[in-house]
Structure 1
Amino acid sequence: MTFRATVARVLIASPGDAQSERDQVEQTIHQWNAERSLASGIIFMPVRWETGTVPVLEGDGQSIVNRQIVDDADIVMAFFKSRIGTLTPRGISGTAEEILRSADASKPVHVWFSKAPHPTDVDTRQLDALRSFEKSLQDRGLLGRYESPEALAHHVRGALEHDIARIAALGRGDTHQPTISTRRSGPSTADHHAEALRAEIEILTGNAAAQGWTTGKSSTTTLRFESPKGRKFSRSVAGDPGSARQELRRFERELRSFGLRVNRTVRVPER
């Protein structure tokens, strides 16, 4: 059975030492599509330089990668282990260039750094450059951490859920950057509140998943969260959508008081 969908290209960006993570992230995106694309009307297309570029003599390698896949990507999933990557004519590494180029274009950029122990033969110059780059990103947005390829896959899935509201709005033809919801002429106030409520729940659960929280629903109207420290929270968002949104905001304030950080936009702020 065919169905209409908005297709978003997801660039998988990392240095070469994160091969296991690259494979895991691509698999996670395909799994998300199998489980969620029909209901959401969104398909995430993983894009990698290994399979998405064509060899051609038209400049330095990274500039070709930029033209062929980076500039056409809608979302960037970037991650680092112990290396910053290979220097380019424009930046400290290809991966760093892809991150900054996409962020400057106001695209959603998600960046994680590994917390796993570094190998004994780690290149200290690469590691020092990586730490310096990480520090430079801290005033541009929220950075993530991961312990293993499987943990990174969990965070990436949360980021995909976080990006649904923005991608859905772009698919409707909205020209502005959406945050929690987008106003359109036509639907009733109740319809607007219902749509906004769904988007707010996606953003809240996406932020939580990206920070290592466990999320779920015990019913269609009861949200359940568990912090990384094991503290459990639940809240019903049943009833009138307008009242449910107010209840969801009270729930969000409670979660914030226990350390959850919630970003309303998915892009890395410009300097």
Structure 2
Amino acid sequence: MPYDAIALEIFIASPSDVLSERAAVREAIAGWNAVYSRSEGVVLMPVGWETHSSPELSGRPQQMVNDRLLSHADILVGIFWSRVGTPTGEAVSGTIEEIERHMEVGKPVMLYFSNAPIPQDMIDDEQRKKLNEFRKWAQDKGLYQTYEAPEELRSKLRDHLPTAMRENNYVSGMLNSKGTAPAETQHNAWPLSQSARTTSFVGADGQRLLKAAAVGNGSVMVRRYLGGTLISAGRQDFTKDDSDSRTVAQMTAAVRELADHGLIEDRNGKGQLFQVTHQGYQVADELPDDFAGPA
């Protein structure tokens, strides 16, 4: 019978030499859904370039993947065997750029490296060097597991997914807020608690940004393009490509207001990626649940 569930997207990141493993990841996700989705009220949705992209000549290919697929994903599963992939102009490879972007906003990454022998005709010294460097980087961060064959990868991922769903802060935070929906009515400004170290007021736009970030992934992003400015918090978009200049100015001021109050902090020093502070979470806890989204 039908049941309500929240959908979490799992982005499958890899070079082109692990097609069997990509299929194994999808099988592991399907296995998790079959066992847990009804009882947990969660459905995991596999996302990848082979099923969710189309040919288009409108910009840097990797940027389109980042914007249209990766930015909406909740978990990233990365797979490597004999190569890292093709440089993007901004990273060693598209796969590594995806991993770096995903980690920048505090979302979970699960990495798997194949130990299977590499056929002589597939060995590329430059690719192998870059792969070893990236593997060392991942090892230092305690980020990865190894496997010998796609079947082992499928089995390991099936075992690891319940742990990730239960213990990862980002994922558990998403699940704890699964009953939250964007509000449809405008509210007046909500006074901040004394426990949040401020007696001033943050406007309704700032409150909505903060609440959406706090119940989402803890981040506020400001992305500026030739076509406009995109501002998002958690999983909510507060401006879009067709937003008018007044709306963009209004939401930009809200981001600045939150930063000035110490409720979010600039993580890269460029005014592009902000993270909710401890004080910000305290304030967000004082706000109504229906503030988690645009008015």
Question: Does TM-score exceed 0.5, indicating one fold?
Answer: yes
CA distance in 2, matches of 1:119, 1:98: 27
Counterpart residue identity of residue 3, structure 1: Y
CA distance in 1, matches of 2:115, 2:58: 38
Distance 1:87 1:27 in 2: 29
Q: Which structure has the larger Rg?
A: 2
Deviation at 1:57, TM superposition (A): 2.3
Amino acid at match of 1:104: E
Q: Which residue of 2 aligns with 1:130?
A: 131
Q: Does the 8 Å CA contact 2:112/2:147 hold for their aligned counterparts? A: yes
Counterpart for residue 156 of structure 2 = 155
Query: What is the SS of the residue equivalent to 1:111?
Result: strand
User: Which residue matches 2:50?
Assistant: 50
Q: Secondary structure at the match of 1:125?
A: helix
| Paired residue secondary structure (1:133) | helix
Deviations 1:156-212 (A, max 9, x none): 11221112224343133283799xxxxxxxxxxxxxxxxxxxxxxxxxxxxxxxxxx
Percent identity between matched residues is 39
Aligned partner of 1:23 in structure 2 is 23
Supply the AA of the counterpart residue of 2:117: P
| Deviation of the 1:102 alpha carbon | 0.4
CA contact (8 A) 1:10 1:47 kept: yes
Distance in 2 separating the partners of 1:72 and 1:177? 12
- Cα separation, 2, equivalents of 1:31 and 1:101: 28
Separation in structure 2 between the aligned mates of residue 81 and residue 133 of structure 1, nearest angstrom? 12
Deviation track 1:30-83 (CA, whole Å, cap 9, x = no partner) reads 122122211121110000111112332221111111111011100001010101
Query: Does the aligned pair in 1 maintain the 2:84–2:96 contact within 8 Å?
Result: yes
SS at match of 2:100: helix
CA contact (8 A) 2:31 2:158 kept: no
Task: Determine the structure 1 residue equivalent to 2:7.
Answer: 7
Report the AA paired with residue 146 of structure 2: R
Is the 1:91–1:97 Cα contact (8 Å) retained in structure 2?
yes
For residue 140 of structure 2, what is the amino acid of its counterpart? Answer: D
Superposed counterparts of 1:1-271, under 5 Å: 1-121=1-121, 122-165=123-166, 166=168, 167-173=171-177, 175=214
| Alpha-carbon distance between aligned partners in 1 of 2:28 and 2:61, rounded to the nearest angstrom | 28
Alpha-carbon RMSD across the aligned residues, in angstroms, is 1.9
Once the two structures are superposed, residues 215-266 of structure 1 have per-residue CA deviations (whole angstroms, 9 ceiling, x without a partner) of xxxxxxxxxxxxxxxxxxxxxxxxxxxxxxxxxxxxxxxxxxxxxxxxxxxx
Check conservation: 1:110, 1:159, Cα contact below 8 A: no
Point out where structure 1 has 5 or more consecutive residues left out of the alignment. 179-271
Shift in Å, 1:149? 0.3
Length-normalised TM-score, structure 2: 0.57
Structure 2 counterpart SS, 1:144:
strand
Of the structure 1 ranges 42-51 and 55-64, higher mean CA displacement relative to structure 2 is found in 55-64
SS of the equivalent of 1:16 reads coil
Query: CA offset at residue 143 of structure 1?
Result: 1.6
Instruction: Indicate the larger mover: 53-62 or 4-13.
Output: 53-62
CA contact (8 A) 1:110 1:143 kept: yes
Contact 1:77-1:156 at 8 Å conserved across structures: no
Q: Partner letter of residue 149 of structure 2?
A: S
Any idea what SS the aligned residue of 1:66 has?
A: helix
Q: What amino acid is aligned across from residue 162 of structure 2 in structure 1? A: E
Compare 73-82 and 56-65 and name the one that shifted more. 56-65
Residue identity opposite 1:170 in structure 2: M
- Normalised TM-score (structure 1): 0.62
- Structure 2 segments unaligned to the other structure (5+ residues): 179-213, 218-295
The structure with higher relative contact order (CA 8 Å, sep 6+) is 1
